[in-house]
Each structure stands twice: as C-alpha cells, then as structure tokens.
Amino acid sequence: MPTIMRALVFHGPDQLAIDEVPIPRAGVNQAVVKVSLTTICGTDVHISREEWPVSKGRILGHEAVGTIHEIGPGVEGFEIGQRVLIPAITPCGSCFYCLSGQWAQCSGHHDKWVPGGGWRLGNSINGCQADYVLVPYAQANLAPVPKSLSDRQVVLLADIASTGFSASEKAGVSLGDTVAVFAQGPIGLCATIGARLKGAGLVIAVDSIHARLKMALRLGADVALHFESMDVVAEIMRITGGRGVDVAIEALGTSGTFENGLKVIRPGGTLSSLGIYSHDLTIRPSDYDGGLGDQTIVNTLCPGGRQRMTTLMRLVENRRIDLTPLLTHEFNLSQIVEAYDLFSEQRDGVLKVAITT
Ligand SMILES: [Zn+2]
Ligand SMILES: [Zn+2]
C-alpha cells in the first residue's frame, strides 16, 4: 500500500508546488477518496494570490471525482472502489444551518458561523488537487456516480454547475421569463445553462470576451452582448421594450456587474447574485426605483452535499445538460502548476482545465 502521494500545496502568495505528503487516513464519519479527476476554480486562483486567506501548507482544490479508498467508522452504505463525486461544499448534515435547509452555510460542530463555512475542502481543511483526499462528513457528501457517466461528464457539477444553476433556482425563474446573465466565465456559462433549464424564454448573455459569448450561444443563450462594444444596459432595455428583465444574474463579483444587474431588472424583478465581492457595492436610488420597485436581491453560495450532487447527475444522465465543452484543456497532476498559470492568465481560450492523476 502506498503511503505517500502528490499534492498541490499553497506555500504563500504565488508559491504553489507539487509536494509529496502522507496519504490521509479516514477517521470517524470520514472517507478517503482516490482522486481520478479534479479541476481548478477561480477561487483557487484568489487563494494563490492570497486574496482569500488559507493556512500555508494547505492542499488546494474542491472539485473532484474518484473512487473510495478508505471508509472510516460510522460511514455506511458505501464500498471500497466505488466511484463518487465530491461536492465543493461539504455540509455536516446536523448543525443549525444544515437542519434549517441552508446546507452551504453549515457551521459544523462550531457554534460560530463564518462566511463560506460549509466550504471546507481546500479552504479550512486539505483539498482534492492531490492523489487522495479526505472527505469530511462522508455520509452526507459521497455521491455515487452512475456507471453510464464519465468523470468528465460530472466533475463540473461539484461547484460551478451547482452554483450557476442555483442563480435561477434562487430567483424563481418562471417559464418564459427574460434573464440577463452578466459575465460568461465558467460560472456565468453555467448560469446561462441554468436559466434555460428553468424555462427562461429569453436568455441574454453579457461578456467582454467574444469566445465566451460564442460558447454562451452554444450552451443556450439567445442573445450575446459584447460589453465593450455597446452600452449593454441600454441594449437590454431596448430588447425588453423598455421594461427590463425579470431576472438579472451577476456572475463575476464586481460592483459594475452588480450595479448593471440592478439597472436592468424590471419593477418586481430579481437580481440574483453569485459573485464574491471584495469592494463596496453602491445602490443608487435611480437604479433601485427609489425603493418603490418591489425588487428582490438574492445571493447564493454553491449548494453542496450528496443529494444535490445526485440530483444534478440525473440531469447529465438523461441528457438535459452537457458540461464537457467547458473542459477546454487537460493536464496531469504533476503539471498542475502550469495549469494554474494558463487558467489564471485566461490564455488560449481556457474555460476549465481537467486535471488527471
Ligand atoms: Zn470553486
Ligand atoms: Zn452543518
């Protein structure tokens, strides 16, 4: 039995390295999964630049498929060698937030809530950009993958698809609604797919990169607006006959996209925010109908846990969605530092990178 594995370790700002570290062992209610496919998230890039704090020595990564290698005491109904999808957010299933239905807000066994607390892998504990990963609260988080599905077909459900789809779910998009999605990065593209899935009658995609707009059209947008070539707010108002959209989705995390989202929603409409903001947001009376517009602003952190993953895999299995076009590049785990460079600099039309072990 091997005891040493490769892992991508954060050593400080812009200091990522593949190190050899011990393979984790499963404790109570934990499992160790042998990773077969993982990927890099925009959040990992923020961590690598020290824009989101994690401890030095932390193994990064929070999206993975693999096979169960070790099952700890208290985890029932799984087998060694079984293929599983691991959610980015790993709720405990028993705290105040989990039992109130807000899985992503899980505080675990701590009374104190911290923002993004349900996100543990590659954040508060070691992550999955490694040959093996320790899965906490394994009973609530190991999601068996149907045999008919490949690793590549399901890996993006762990984070970006779950997050992207949640924007329209949280906003309560109704059949025929008009939805504008601001930014078409990996999460925005999933938000575009999600709007279509929820039955939107018109999906307007906004971005400043032509290749991403082209991908948005391929994945279900009806209209693609190039942010730098036009006044997108005016164009959206024109398309909607001056009324505005039913739902605007913010998928970038900047004050500009947030404010534009607010500007284009109709009275009674909803701004559904997926971004993580590090700057102040401004709400101007003119963009907010002076507070008289019956508008709603909602935000969502990636829904996680086993049931969410199982539900999303059903959409793939029955061919409602295909996320594989988003995996534009492939690297082996040994070359993951190169993959970070490519991904963080958005070179070569990269959307998501498949990292194999
Ligand atoms: Zn992520
Ligand atoms: Zn919990």
> Which tens digit of pLDDT belongs to each residue from 326-355?
999 999 999 999 999 999 999 999 999 999
pLDDT at 165 over 70: yes
> Which tens digit of pLDDT belongs to each residue from 295-331?
999 999 999 999 999 999 999 999 999 999 999 999 9
Q: Which ligand is nearest to the CA of 164?
A: 1
> Which tens digit of pLDDT belongs to each residue from 179-218?
999 999 999 999 999 999 999 999 999 999 999 999 999 9
CA of 104 to the centre of ligand 2 (A): 8
CA of 298 to the centre of ligand 2 (A): 21
Q: Which ligand is nearest to the CA of 60?
A: 1
> Which tens digit of pLDDT belongs to each residue from 9-55?
999 999 999 999 999 999 999 999 999 999 999 999 999 999 899 99
Q: Which ligand is nearest to the CA of 98?
A: 2
> Which of 96-100, 232-236, 320-324 is the least confident region?
96-100
CA of 66 to the centre of ligand 2 (A): 24
Q: Which ligand is nearest to the CA of 91?
A: 2
Q: Supply the mean pLDDT for the chain.
A: 96
CA of 84 to the centre of ligand 2 (A): 21
262 CB-near residues (< 8 Å, 6+ apart): 248, 271, 283, 287, 288, 295, 297
pLDDT score recorded for residue 318: 97
Mean pLDDT of 94-111: 89
pLDDT at 109 over 80: no
